[in-house]
Amino acid sequence: MNPPRDGELIVMQSFVYNALPGRVIFGQGTVSALKSEMERAGCTRALLLSTPEQAAALKDIAASIGALAAGIFTDAAMHTPTDVTDRALRAARDCAADCTIAFGGGSSTGLGKAIALRTDLTQIVIPTTYAGSEMTPIIGETEGGRKVTRRTLKVLPEIVIYDVDFTLTLPPRLTVTSGTNAIAHAVEALYAQDRNPVISMMAEQAISAMGRALPAIVAHPQDREARAEALYGAWLCGICLGSVGMALHHKLCHVVGGSFNLPHADTHTVILPYAMAYNAKAAPEADQVVARALGGRSGTQALVDLARKLESPTSLKSIGMEERDIERAADLAVQSPYWNPRPIDRSAIRDLVASAWAGDIERYMSGP
Ligand code: NAD
């Protein structure tokens, strides 16, 4: 099949499309709808959730809904540790909560999902990063240092309030890495085994929205239009992640980030151009769509150019991975089989990880 031309949609001969339920309120100042959304859902007692860093903003939100705020829990943490979930469950029971309001990034959302998994409480999420967890039926939980991920509709949030105003405080570096984390969901959706034209259309829109918005935000972090475009793009990226299967990129980030305790969004940011380069020949249509969305010769080159423009982290070394861990990362990445457009080969994966560790994308792109 020829690469798509400008404006041309990839229409496949046959596909399966699974729509996920959920209600989305998007805009600026939309947090003012929180009370009416709770009432609409028949909820009267909310447990509000955040990380310690966002506790002050959470208290303001609690004050804005008055008696509907039954309790506050501000110990949400990265990778959803089950001991934190146990404490949050006690807090939910103590205040007789009938819903949770998760305010923050993937860490707060993950805690809301973990509570819903065990109690079926209604979830309202107010996302403040671009991670996209609020749009997925996926939960990853950590117990005894091991992260287990599963998919169940029980954890899909019922109501999501995107309020652009809350993203204005996201620091530029986190904006860049979280935004690139979002782009990665859309990129892998384009070559997913169960891809379909609707999700591919969202993925392309999402990547171009992010490609426009992120440089504008880095230049002017308070640019509301750019912040709105990034949050819109992140929403679409989250739908991509929740709707179709992911491949090499997400597997590598899970393995490398989880095993060596690297920051989640930074790991995605470093790995993405390498995963695209690994798959480009096996998924030429996806590569061309990424190139078209970002503007560039190839998808990989366009991602590299965007990373340069954003001054993103570009090596695993710079975000805390030790050189001696390269072999173990390659072993873990090939341990359990998963679908990928290009077959997974131990020596090719080792080369990818070693190049990403050193930050040597030019050599990696030029091939062996
Ligand atoms: P995060 O939620 O851990 O947030 C990072 C830090 O930024 C925290 O300290 C947080 O308080 C702060 N922060 C968030 N928004 C802010 C804002 N607007 N202004 C100032 N500070 C802000 O990071 P994340 O990258 O959003 O989420 C990562 C977690 O989410 C990981 O555990 C990852 O596995 C999970 N995740 C899950 C899914 C899924 O579908 N299940 C998808 C993506 C990510």
Same domain, 73 and 33: yes
Region class of 247: left (phi > 0), else alpha (psi between -120 and 50), else beta: beta
With respect to residue 123, please indicate whether it lies within any of the assigned structural domains. Answer: yes
Tokens 């798959």 sit at which residue?
Answer: 279
Residue 113 has pLDDT above 60, yes or no: yes
Same domain, 108 and 186: no
With respect to residue 5, please indicate whether it lies within any of the assigned structural domains. Answer: no
Pairwise CA distance, residues 304 & 160, whole Å: 32
Residue 145 has pLDDT above 80, yes or no: no
- Give the rounded distance of the alpha carbon of 6 from its chain centre: 27
**Among candidate residues 167, 196, 222, the one where a domain is terminated:** 167
Does 257 sit in the ligand 1 pocket, CB within 6 Å? no
Query: What is the total count of domains within the chain?
Result: 2
**Among candidate residues 137, 167, 197, the one where a domain is terminated:** 167
- Closest C-alpha residue for ligand 1 atom 38: 133
- List the structure tokens of 109: 């959302």
Please give the backbone phi and psi of residue 202, each rounded to the nearest 5 degrees, phi first: -65, -40
The parent domain of residue 280 ranges over: 172-365
Tell me how many degrees the CA angle 206-102-133 measures, rounded to the nearest 5: 30
Same domain, 271 and 299: yes
Does 132 sit in the ligand 1 pocket, CB within 6 Å? yes
Confidence label for 10 from pLDDT (cuts 50, 70 and 90) = low
For position 8, what pLDDT does the model report? 56
Pairwise CA distance, residues 315 & 348, whole Å: 18
Does 140 sit in the ligand 1 pocket, CB within 6 Å? yes
Same domain, 63 and 130: yes
Residue 129 has pLDDT above 70, yes or no: yes
Same domain, 199 and 250: yes
Task: Write the CATH number for 208.
Answer: 1.20.1090.10
Pairwise CA distance, residues 131 & 138, whole Å: 12
Q: How many Å lie between the centroid of ligand 1 and the Cα of residue 277?
A: 27
- Closest C-alpha residue for ligand 1 atom 42: 133
- Three-state SS annotation for 209-274: HHHHHHHHHHHCCCCHHHHHHHHHHHHHHHHHHHHCCCCHHHHHHHHHHHHCCCCHHHHHHHHHHH
Does 54 sit in the ligand 1 pocket, CB within 6 Å? yes
Give the model confidence (pLDDT) of 252-306 as tens digits: 999 898 889 899 999 999 999 999 999 999 999 999 999 999 999 999 999 999 9
- List the structure tokens of 65: 């809904």
Confidence label for 2 from pLDDT (cuts 50, 70 and 90) = low
Element containing residue 200 per DSSP (H, E): helix 197-219
Pairwise CA distance, residues 10 & 115, whole Å: 39
With respect to residue 290, please indicate whether it lies within any of the assigned structural domains. Answer: yes
Same domain, 72 and 44: yes
For the whole prediction, is pTM greater than 0.75?
yes
Q: How far is CA 37 from CA 32, 62, 156, 223, in A?
A: 9, 14, 17, 28
Residue 6 has pLDDT above 60, yes or no: no
